Amino acid sequence: MLKNFDFNAVDTTFADRKRSELGAELAALQRKLLNSDSSLLIIVDGWESSGKGYMLKEFTRELDPRYFEVSLYDEPTDEEKAHPFLWRFSRDLPAKGRIALFDRSFYFELMSELKLSDKKLNHQLTDVSFLERMLTADNTLVIKFFLHQKEKTMVKRIENLKKDPYRELLITAEDELQIKKYSKYLNHFDEVLERTNFEGSPWHIISTEDLKNASREALGITIRALKEHLEKPSGEEADVPRPASAIKPLAKIDLSKTITEQEYEAQLEKLQKEAGEIVYELWIKKIPCILVFEGTDAAGKGGAISRLTRMMDPRSFDVATTAAPTEQERQYNYLWRFYQTFPSRGKLTIYDRSWYGRVLVERVEGFTPEYRWAAAYDEINEMEHNLVHDGNLIIKFLLVIDKEEQEKRFKEREADPEKIYKLTEDDWRNHEKFDVYEEAMNEMLVRTNTIDAPWIIVEGKQKEFARIKVLKEFIGRAKAFIKKNS
Question: In the prediction, which pLDDT does 486 show?
Answer: 83
62-65, long-range: CB < 8 A, 24+ apart:
62/20, 62/23, 62/24, 62/26, 62/27, 63/23, 63/26, 63/27, 63/30, 63/99, 64/27, 64/30, 64/31
From its phi and psi, is residue 19 left (phi > 0), alpha (psi between -120 and 50) or beta? Answer: alpha
Give the pLDDT band of residue 306 (cuts 50, 70, 90): very high
The mean pLDDT value for 263-278 works out to 98
Which amino acid, 102?
A: F
Helices 301-309/463-484 angle, 10° precision: 50
Name the 3-class secondary structure at 300: coil
The mean pLDDT value for 184-199 works out to 94
CB of 329 within 8 A of CB of 336? yes
Q: What is the dihedral of CA 406, 408, 410, 413, to 10 degrees?
A: -140
Domain residue ranges in the chain? 19-231, 252-484
Q: What is the dihedral of CA 300, 304, 305, 311, to 10 degrees?
A: 150
Residue 189 CA to residue 205 CA, distance in Å, equals 11
Residue 452 CA to residue 473 CA, distance in Å, equals 16
Look at the domain 252-484 and name its fold. Rossmann fold (3.40.50)
Spell out the CATH class of 19-231.
Answer: alpha beta
Residue 77: exposure state from Cβ atoms within 10 A (0-12, 13-18, ≥19): exposed
The mean pLDDT value for 152-163 works out to 89
DSSP assignment, residue 293? E
Distances (CA, A) of 365 to 112, 299, 360, 447: 46, 20, 8, 20
Give the pLDDT band of residue 244 (cuts 50, 70, 90): low
**Same fold flag, 19-231 and 252-484:** yes
Helices 52-60/211-231 angle, 10° precision: 50
Backbone angles phi, psi at 162, to 5 degrees: -65, -25
Q: Which residues pair with 41 in a beta bridge?
A: 100, 142
DSSP 85-105: TTHHHHTTPPPTT-EEEEES-
Count the neighbouring beta carbons within 10 Å of the beta carbon of residue 270: 10
Residue 71 CA to residue 286 CA, distance in Å, equals 29
Residue 234 CA to residue 54 CA, distance in Å, equals 34
Residue-wise pLDDT tens digits, 50-62: 999 999 999 999 9
Q: What is the mean pLDDT of the chain?
A: 93
Residue-wise pLDDT tens digits, 107-151: 988 898 888 888 888 888 999 999 999 999 999 999 999 999 999
Backbone angles phi, psi at 325, to 5 degrees: -60, 145
Give the pLDDT band of residue 74 (cuts 50, 70, 90): confident
> How far is C-alpha 248 from the geometric centre of its chain's CA atoms?
30
